[in-house]
Amino acid sequence: MDLKLATIDLGLIAPEIIIAAVAMLILLLGNVVRRRTILAYFGLFGLVAALLTALPRWGNPASGFYGMVQADNFAIFFKIIFIIAAGLTILMARRYLISHEIESPEFYALLLFSAVGMMVMAATSDLVVIFLGLEIMSVPLYVMAAFARHDVSSNEAGIKYFIMGAFASGILIYGIALVYGATGTTDLRRILADWGFFEMHSQLFLYSGAILVLIGFGFKVAAVPFHMWVPDVYQGAPTPVTAFFSVAPKAAGFAALLRIFTYGFADMSQLWAILWILAVLTMTVGNILAIFQDNIKRMLAYSSIAHAGYILVALTAGGDGAVSSAAYYLLAYTFFNLGAFAVITLIDTRNSSTAQIDEMQGLSGRHPFLAAVLALFMFALAGFPPTAGFMGKFYIFSEAIKNGYIGLAIIGVMNSFVSVYYYLRVVVVSFFARPNKEFEAVSYTPAIFIVLVITAAGTLILGILPGYWLSLARAGIFQFL
Amino acid sequence: MVPMPYYLIVGAVLFVIGIAGVILSRNLIIMFMSIELMLNAANLTIITFSRFLNLMDGHVFVFLIMAVAAAEAAVGLAIIIMLFRNRETIDADKFNLLKW
Amino acid sequence: MELIIFYLAAVVAVGGGLMMIMQRNPVASVLYLIVTLVAIAVMFVQLNAVFVGALLIIVYAGAILVLFLFVIMLLNLRGEKFAEKRTRLDRPTRIILAVAFILELLAMFKQVAFPGRMDELMVQASPDFGGARPVAELLYTKYLFPFELTSILLLVAIVGAVVMARRDEKDKKRGI
C-alpha cells in the first residue's frame, strides 16, 4: 500500500509548538516547582521565544500541511497580537490571583493553550481548522472564566460562557456543514476559485451556511444581537481573565471573520447588507447600553461590544485597505483595552472591591500615575487624538468612506461621540469627584507597572507615529498560496 | 434509494430541535444535551453531503467533531459539577446573581 | 425497503430529540438522546458511512453520553428537584413554536432543494466508501494537522476538567 505521508514542515507551526510545549511543561513542573513566579516567567519566556520564531517568517509567506497552515503576514500580525495579549495578561494576573487565593500553574497553561488555539485560527484558510482552533481557544477560556471556583459569580460567568460558546460552536459547525455541502470543500481558496460554478441549490446552501458561520462568530466576537452573555461573563470572571477575554478572542474571531468574509466569501454580495445592519446594531446598542452601567467591568463589556461594531464596519467595507485598518485597530485596541483592565485589576486586587465606577473617587489624589494612565486609556477608547484609538477609528472610517459606505461611517462617528460621555465619566470621577472616604491604597508590583508602561507606550506610539505600524498592517494582508 | 434532501431535512429538523432545547429548557444538563444534538445534526448533514459528493472528507470532519464534542462534554460537565457543589441546583433561572 | 428503514429512523430520531428537550428528568433525557443517536447512526449506515456510524455508537452513545449519565447520577439529580418548575413558555406555545419552526424549514427545503434532480446526481459509491481505511488515509495525510490539533484539544479538556472538578482544601472544610 502506498500511503503518501504529508510533507511536514514544522517550521511553519513553530510558534504554536513552542507555546504548547511550554504550557505542557508548566503543567508538569507545577507539582515540582514550588515557586509559582518561575512558572509564570517560564510562560512569558515561551511567548517571547514564539515571537522570535514567528517574526523571521515576515515577508516570506509559506503554506504547508496540504494548505491547512498558512503562515502569511496576516497570520504573523495576529500572532503578535495574541502573544502581546497573553504576555501582558500573565504579568497582570499574578498579583490578582494570589490575592484571591486562586493561583495555580494550570492558569498559565490554560492561557497559553488558548493562545495556541487563536494562532491556529489566524493561520489557516480551512474552515475545519478554524473550527478546531476556535475550540482550542474556547475550552480553556470556559475554565478560566470559572477559575475563581469558590466565587459564585465567577461560576455563573463560566457556565454562561460555556453554554453560549458551545451553542455558537454548534451553529458554526452546521454552517460549515452547509458550506461543505454546497462547495465540496472547506478550503477558502478553493471556494473562491470555484465561485460561479456552483449551482442554484448550492447557492442556497452556501448562503445559509455563510449566514450561520457569521452568527457563530457573531457570538464569539460579541456582535449584537448575539451579545447577551458578554456583560455577565465580563463582570463575573476574574478581572485579568476579563482583560484577556476582551482583546484576544475578539482579535482571533475577527482574524477568522476577515479571512472568511473578505477572502473566501468575497463574492457573496448580498451578505454585505447583513453585515451593514450587524455593524450598526453592534455599535449603537453597545454604546447606548454602556451609558447606563455603574459597574466598570460591565461598562467596559458594553464598550467592547461597541468596539466590535467599529471593526465590523471595516469588515463591511471590505478590501485590502479595510482589512489592514481592522488589523491595525485590533493591535491598538489590545494595548489600550488591556491597559484599562490592568488599572482595574490593580484596584480590584483589594478584596473589598466591587468594581463600581464610583469607587474611583479620589484615585488621582492617592495614585496620580494610575489616574493619569487610566485617563489616557479612556481617551484612547473614546478615540481622542493623539492616541492610537483616534488613528484606528480614523483609518476604519476613511476606508468605509473610500468604499462607498458613507452612511456607515457617519453612524460610526456619531457613535464615537456618544461613547465620549461614559468614558469621560470615569475620568471625571477619578479626578474631580469629591471622595466620600479616603481612597484605599493599592500596592503596585513591578509586573503591573511594566504592563501599564507598555500599554501606555503602545497607545501613544501607535497614535503619534502610526505610519510605520500601519504600513506593517498594510503588508499584513492575506497572501494566500 | 432514499432521496438526498430527506436526510438533509432530518438534519435540519434535529438542528432546530437542538436550538429550541437550548433556548427553552431551564435545566443546564438538558441545554447541554441539546447542544450535542445540534452537533449531531451537523454530523448527519455532513455525512449526507459526503455521500452525495462522493468525497470522504466529510467522514474525517465527523471524526474531528466527535473529538470536539468529547472535549466540550468533559469541560462542561466539570463546570456543572463545580456549580452544583456551590449552589445545589442546575436550574438555569437560579443563576441570576448577574443579570442574565 | 430502504425508504421504510429511513422513515423509521427519521421518526425515531426526531421523536427522540423532541422527547429529550421536553423531559423534566435529565436521566430520561439522556436515554432519549441515545435513542436519537442510534437512529442517526442507522442513517449513517444507509449513507455508506459504516466506520463513522460505528464510531458514533461506540464513542458518542457509549462514552460521551454515559459520561452525562454518570454526572447526573453523581449529582443525584432526579425529577423531583424540578417539580416546582414553572415553564418559561407554557406548553402549547412551545409546541406551536416547534411546529412553526419545522414547517418553515420544510417549506424552505421543498421550495429550493427539491427540484428532483438531486437524487439523480447520487453516484454509486465505490466499494470501500466509508470504510475505516479511506478515513484513516485521509486522517494521516490531508487532515494530519487538524488530527494533531484534536490531541491538544483533548489535553486542554482534561486539564480544564481536572481544574474545575477537583476538591481543594476549602471544599473539604465545607464537607462536600
- Written as tens digits, the pLDDT of chain B (100 aa) is 678 888 988 999 999 999 989 888 878 888 999 999 999 999 999 999 998 888 889 999 999 999 999 999 999 999 988 888 887 666 666 665 554 4
Which stretches of chain A drop beneath a pLDDT of 70? 1-7, 196, 198-201, 351-352, 476-481
What does the alpha-carbon distance between residue A195 and residue A36 come to, in Å, rounded to a whole number?
53
Please, what are the domains in chain B? 4-89 (1.10.287.3510)
Closest CA to B92 of B17, B3, B11, B26: B26
- Give the H/E segment covering residue A63: strand A62-64
d(CA A466, CA A48): 24
Contact: C168, A27; criterion CB under 8 Å: no
Kindly report, residue by residue over C1-37, the tens digit of the pLDDT: 788 888 888 989 999 999 898 888 888 899 999 999 9
Checking if the pLDDT of C115 tops 80, the result is no
Q: What are the angstrom distances between the C-alpha of C142 and each of A67, A118, C138? A: 9, 22, 5
pLDDT of residue B100: 43
The amino acid sitting at A388 is A
Rounded Cα–Cα distance for residues A18 and A23 (Å): 9
Q: How far apart are CA A179 and CA A19, in angstroms?
A: 32
Rounded to whole angstroms, how far apart are CA atoms B95 and C9?
Answer: 37
Judge whether residue C173 has pLDDT over 80.
Answer: no
Q: Can the peptide bond before residue A435 be classed as cis, meaning omega within 30 degrees of 0? A: no
The pLDDT value recorded for residue A218 is 93
Name the helix (H) or strand (E) containing A109. Answer: helix A105-122
CB atoms within 10 A of CB C35: 18
C-alpha cell at C17: 430529540
Mean pLDDT score of chain C, rounded to an integer?
A: 78
**Contact at CB, C156 and A113, closer than 8 angstroms:** yes
Residues A254, A260, A262, CA angle at the centre, nearest 5°? 90
Measure the CA–CA gap between C162 and B79, rounded to whole angstroms.
10
Label the pairing between strands A62-64 and A69-71.
antiparallel
Which grid cell sits at A438? 479616603
Whether residues A180 and B15 touch (CB distance < 8 A) is answered with no
Cβ of B64 within 8 Å of Cβ of C150? The answer is yes
Judged by a CB distance cut-off of 8 A, whether residue A238 touches chain B is: no
Which residues lie across from B91 on neighbouring strands?
Answer: B27
- pLDDT score at B39: 96
Among the partner-chain residues C137, C150, C159, the one whose CB lies closest to the CB of A109 is: C159
C71 close contact with B: CB closer than 8 A: yes
Please tell me whether residue C95 adopts helix, strand or coil conformation.
helix
User: CA angle at residue C148 from C144 to C149, to 5 degrees?
Assistant: 120
Q: Grid coordinates in use for A180?
A: 461543505
C107: β partners: none
DSSP calls for A130-196: HHHHHHHHHHHHHHHHT-STT-HHHHHHHHHHHHHHHHHHHHHHHHHHHHHHHHS--BHHHHHHTTT
Chains with ≥3 CB–CB distances under 8 Å to A: B, C
Neighbours of A34 (CB within 10 A): 8
Q: Backbone dihedral region of A222: left (phi > 0), alpha (psi from -120 to 50 degrees) or beta?
A: left
Q: Which residues of C touch A203 (CB under 8 A)?
A: none
Give residue limits of the domains in chain A: 269-481
State percent of chain C over pLDDT 90.
29
Q: Which of residues 3-62 of B touch C (CB under 8 A)?
A: 3-10, 12-14, 16-18, 20-21, 24-27, 29-30, 32-34, 36-37, 40, 43-44, 47-48, 50-52, 54, 56-57, 59-60, 62
* pLDDT of amino acid C82: 46
CA atoms of B29 and C28, how far apart (whole Å): 12
Q: How far apart are CA C39 and CA C166, in angstroms?
A: 36
Contacts of C81 in chain B (CB under 8 A): 89
> What is the Cα–Cα distance from C137 to B21, expressed in whole angstroms?
37
In chain B, residues with a C-beta closer than 8 Å to the C-beta of C74 are 81
For Cα atoms B60, B66, B68, give the angle at the middle one, nearest 5 degrees: 105
Q: How far is A72 from chain B (nearest CA, A)?
A: 25
B84, C170, A244, C152 alpha-carbon torsion, rounded to 10°:
-70
C89: pLDDT strictly greater than 50: no
Sequence-distant (6+) residues with CB within 8 A of C29 are B27, B29, B30, B33, C20, C21, C23
Burial of C158 (0-12, 13-18, 19+ CB in 10 A): middle
Q: Which helix (H) or strand (E) holds A22?
A: helix A14-29
Enumerate the β-bridge partners of residue A69: A64
Q: Is A455 helix (H, G, I), strand (E, B) or coil?
A: helix
Q: What is the pLDDT of residues A392-423, one digit of tens each?
A: 999 999 999 998 899 999 999 999 999 999 99
Distance CA A320, CA A317 (A): 10
Amino acid at C44: F
Is residue C150 within 8 A of residue A131, CB to CB? The reply is no
Note the pLDDT of residue A464: 87
**What amino acid is encoded at A90 in this protein?**
I
Q: Is residue B19 classed as helix, strand or coil in its secondary structure?
A: helix
Q: Which helix (H) or strand (E) holds A71?
A: strand A69-71
Q: Count the neighbouring beta carbons within 10 Å of the beta carbon of residue A285.
A: 18
Which residue of chain A is at minimal alpha-carbon distance from B22? A167
CA atoms within 13 A on the CB side of A319: 13
Q: List the one residue out of A206, A210, C97 whose CA is nearest residue B17.
A: C97
Omega within 30 of 0 (cis) for the link into A446: no
* A275-278: Cβ within 8 A, 24+ apart: A275/A214, A275/A312, A275/A315, A275/A316, A276/A316, A276/A405, A276/A408, A278/A214, A278/A218, A278/A223, A278/A224, A278/A312
pLDDT surpasses 50 at C114: no
Question: Cell numbers 467533531 label which residue?
Answer: B65
Q: pLDDT tens digits for A32-82?
A: 888 888 899 999 999 999 999 988 888 888 888 888 898 888 899 999 999
Q: Of the candidates A109, A52, A110, which has an alpha carbon nearest to the alpha carbon of residue A76?
A: A52
Q: At C127, which helix (H) or strand (E)?
A: none
Which of B65, B99, B100 is the best residue to mutate to test the A interface, defined by the most A CB atoms within 10 Å of its own CB? B65
Residue C26 to residue C77: CA distance in whole angstroms: 7
List Cβ neighbours of A292 (8 Å cut-off, separation of 6 or more): none
Tell if the CB–CB gap between B54 and C30 is shorter than 8 Å: no
Would you give the DSSP letter of residue A66? T
Q: What is the pLDDT of residue A177?
A: 94
Q: Distance (Å) from the C-alpha of residue C34 to the closest C-alpha of chain A?
A: 18
Model ipTM over 0.90: yes
**Chain B interface mutation, best of A130, A156, A199, highest count of B Cβ atoms under 10 Å:** A156
Cα separation, A134 vs C158, in Å, equals: 17
CB proximity list for A422: less than 8 A, separation 6 or greater:
A287, A290, A291, A293, A299, A303
Choose the closest CB to C141 out of A3, A116, A205. A3
Q: Is residue A341 a contact partner of residue A239, using CB atoms and an 8 Å limit?
A: yes
C112 touches chain B (CB under 8 A): no
DSSP letter at C114?
Answer: -
C134-173 residues touching B, CB cutoff 8 A: 134-135, 138-139, 142-143, 146-147, 150, 153-154, 156-158, 160-165, 171
Chain A segment 77-106 residues within 8 A of B by beta carbon are none
Tallying the residues shown for chain C, one arrives at: 176
Which residues from chain A sit within 8 angstroms of residue B15, using beta carbons?
A: 174
What is the model's pLDDT at position A23? Answer: 95
Q: Do C115 and A201 touch (CB under 8 A)?
A: yes
- Contact yes or no for A93/A102 (Cβ under 8 A): no
Paired with C130 in beta bridges are none
Q: Which domains does chain C have, with CATH numbers?
A: 2-80+128-174 (1.20.120.1200)
Q: What band does C95 get if pLDDT is binned at 50, 70 and 90? A: low
Q: Which residue is associated with the grid cell 457570538?
A: A219
Say if residue C116's pLDDT is above 50. no
Nearest CA of chain C to the CA of B13: how many Å? Answer: 6
Question: Quick one: how many helices (H) and strands (E) in chain B?
Answer: 3, 0
Cβ pair C99, C71 in contact under 8 A: no
Measure C38 CA to nearest chain B CA, in Å: 11
A70 SS3 class: strand
Q: What is the DSSP letter of C88?
A: S
Distance (Å, rounded) from C-alpha A222 to C-alpha A229? 8
DSSP chain C: -HHHHHHHHHHHHHHHHHHHHH-SSHHHHHHHHHHHHHHHHHHHHHTT-HHHHHHIIIIIIIIIHHHHHHHHHHHT--GGGGTTPPPSS-HHHHHHHHHHHHHHHHHHHHHHH-SS-TTTT-PPPPTTTTSHHHHHHHHHTTTHHHHHHHHHHHHHHHHHHHHHH---HHHHHHT-
Grid coordinates representing A198 are 456552483
Cβ distance A149 to C164 less than 8 Å, yes or no, reads yes
Give the whole-angstrom CA distance, residue A322 versus residue A318. Answer: 6
Average pLDDT, chain A: 88
> Are residues B17 and C139, on separate chains, in Cβ contact within 8 Å?
no
* C-alpha C47, offset from chain centre: 17
